[in-house]
Amino acid sequence: MSTLNLKNRLKKNFAENKILLSIFLVLWIILIFITLSSYRSTLGKQSIGNDSYNRSVVEVNRDTTVEAVIPAQQDAKNVSILFATYARTNEGNITIQISNDTTEEIYVSETIPVGRIIDNDFRTFSLNYVLSDYDQIRVSIYSDSPVDRGVGVYYSNGSAFEGSLFYVDGEQIEDADLCLKYLVHSEELKGFAFGVILYAAVGISLLALLLLLFDPSKELLFSCSILVLGLLLMIIIVPASPPDELSHYEVALQVSNMLMSKEQKSIDSIYLKYGYMYGHYNISAGYVRFIREIFKPLKLTGKMQKLSRDALDVYWIQYLPNAIGLSLGRILKLNMITCFYLGRITSLLFYALCIYFAIKLTPTLKSLFGIISIMPMFLQTAASISYDTFILGLSFLSAAFFLRWYFSEKEIPWKEYITVFVICFLLAPAKVVYGFFAFLFFLVPKDRYGSTKKKILGALLLCLPAIYQLYGIMAGPLQMLFKSILRTDTENLISLDLKNIGIYPNKEAYSFSYMIHHPLETLLIFARTIRYRIKYWFYGSFCRALSGDSLIVPIGIVHAVLAVLIAMSFTSQPKTLPLLLKAVLILMCTVIGLYVIIGMFVSWTESSQTIVEDYGGIIVEGIQGRYFSPLLPYFFSVFPNKKLALPQRSEKYVFLAYLMVFFEIVIYVLSYTFVN
């Protein structure tokens, strides 16, 4: 494009969008100011205090109070206390009073509606006094909540502060301390926070200007958004915090060895130094390591260390996006933490490339696919070392090709057919449950294949990888069911249970034989699980629980993200799905969801599980919202319709609104992590 054409295009787009641009800039500046003011007590602070993860919790209600006497921390002016909501709706108010244990001078006294307490979250209180080492503080916590409807306070099962005391209803609990942290000023963390906030403000502003002034293609807009927003989450979600990232990292290292023609199962011990990392928890020590080591030169130890997992025992191909980055870092002789982040970057690039082509290929729902692809859970996964990036990227491509073929008026080109076969071939072994996506290609009209015979053969060939994987998992249970119906060899049915064939050898889980011989009890467990957990799974599939499910995003932000998703799904589309196809997609999502529940029931849910009183019985354990993330493009594609549709231009408003909500999430994660 010539300079003159670009200048004219900018003028035209500015004239069309100047009012929207002005409104966005005003709201954007106000939002930044309000958000930073709200979190000023935690941003850039260093937490010192009770770091124990061996915790218990006590409910504070009208019958139960908590007190603690704790030595003060020099120069601290903020205190954070860890609360729990028991994942239920609570009632009443809770009062926190912090005072000088000697002079009884009150530093803070605050009453909070319990509905504003976030589960498993540190709440920070600003003191009207700067503490010194000579002080001792007394923390008193009481509530007017009814019993079983008050929030909980965490305490460590061990003494974290020398000379401290912890009381419940006036009775001292030995070897226990309130989960409390002091926040003190830290120059390096303050600088880190400033850098991240500046990058977030500038990056999000540039994305808004890209949309309003350049009017880019949707595939370009959303792939750029993935890179800008994904890099943000890559920095603020610390190493080892995303689910099982360290175990994924060790497998990716082995794949890196394979790419570099090195011995597969060993590596220099410097690459396995996990100091300042804590699995599944987004802790500020990870920021400290990033700051101090990102530019340090590599110093190999010369000591080779065995890797604990064997890449050849798993589907190692799905680790290639991560392994490429790790290999590049090792070739350039970069240190461990820099290699780690390079592995994350190449994963993010792979995901952005998949989304670019998915949005380019699909004839409809482009903005819906795009907004889903930049949801926090998707970006956290894409910007981490995890095989789930591979699954998400290929899932979007599979959905895009299905819609392309379904709405096309031409016969499927051989190149596209081979591409889709490769996608199905790669996706099925990654997680067998997502192999069901391939069966959608049976719904493509026969004219696209050329004839009914070609359709049956073509779609069946695409499904063969999934059928093979499904047979490998289901052969044993089906054999068991058949024998059970015939009432033969029932005494040996237990030998077909998953727990006895080594998938989870140390976990006494429920079994397929239990499901067959106790169908009613099994259905009740499933129904109870769905009833109490479906909201948690749905919210978790796009943003509710980040990090290792330990970083719970405030429900108000979650609802704002959900509003964005719903609004984008109701924007006007060039083509909408017929009612029958929508019904099939809902059925597919339901079947996959049930498959996930069954899988976790027979592989993760302990048969000796204690009945959970809040649920009134046993529920299926171990299911996380991210397991349902690949279903979101299919689930939300059923909403667009011709009768109830927002104007096409509203997509710009929805995208800009999401950028501002995403900024809120970034600042919340930063604030949470500085305290944690």
pLDDT tens column, 404-448? 999 999 999 999 999 999 999 999 999 888 888 999 999 999 999
Task: Provide the whole-model pTM.
Answer: 0.90
pLDDT of residue 20 exceeding 70, the answer is yes
Residue type, 215: D
Per-residue pLDDT of 68-111, as tens digits, reads 999 998 899 999 999 999 878 899 999 999 999 999 999 999 99
Q: CB count, 10 Å around CB of 596? A: 20
Q: Which of 31, 387, 340, 392 lies closest to 226, judged by CA?
A: 392
pLDDT for residue 478: 60
Between 388-407 and 320-331, two packed helices, what is the crossing angle to 10 degrees? 130
Cβ(633)–Cβ(589) under 8 Å? Answer: no
pLDDT for residue 589: 95
Q: What is the C-alpha separation between 325 and 310, in angstroms, rounded?
A: 20
Q: What is the C-alpha separation between 104 and 100, in angstroms, rounded?
A: 5
Per the structure block, which two tokens stand in for 70? Answer: 């704790």
Q: What is the mean pLDDT of residues 322-327?
A: 98
How confident is residue 462, by pLDDT bands cut at 50, 70 and 90? very high
Q: What is the mean pLDDT of residues 63-68?
A: 96
Per-residue pLDDT of 332-350, as tens digits, reads 999 999 999 999 999 999 9
φ, ψ of residue 268 in degrees (nearest 5)? -60, 135
How confident is residue 484, by pLDDT bands cut at 50, 70 and 90? low
Cβ(148)–Cβ(167) under 8 Å? Answer: no
pLDDT of residue 251 exceeding 90, the answer is yes
pLDDT of residue 57 exceeding 60, the answer is yes
Per-residue pLDDT of 595-615, as tens digits, reads 999 988 887 887 766 665 567
Residue type, 220: L
pLDDT for residue 89: 86
Q: What is the mean pLDDT of residues 502-507?
A: 43
Q: What is the C-alpha separation between 410 and 366, in angstroms, rounded?
A: 20
Q: What percentage of the chain has pLDDT greater than the value 90?
A: 72
Q: Report the range of poorest mean pLDDT among 177-186, 579-588, 610-619.
A: 610-619
Q: Which of 577, 575, 571, 544 lies closest to 655, judged by CA?
A: 571
Q: What is the C-alpha separation between 583 and 647, in angstroms, rounded?
A: 25
How confident is residue 312, by pLDDT bands cut at 50, 70 and 90? confident
Which residue is listed with tokens 């899932």? Answer: 395
pLDDT for residue 431: 85
Q: Domains of the chain by range and CATH?
A: 49-184 (2.60.120), 236-400 (no CATH), 408-489 (no CATH)
How confident is residue 502, by pLDDT bands cut at 50, 70 and 90? very low
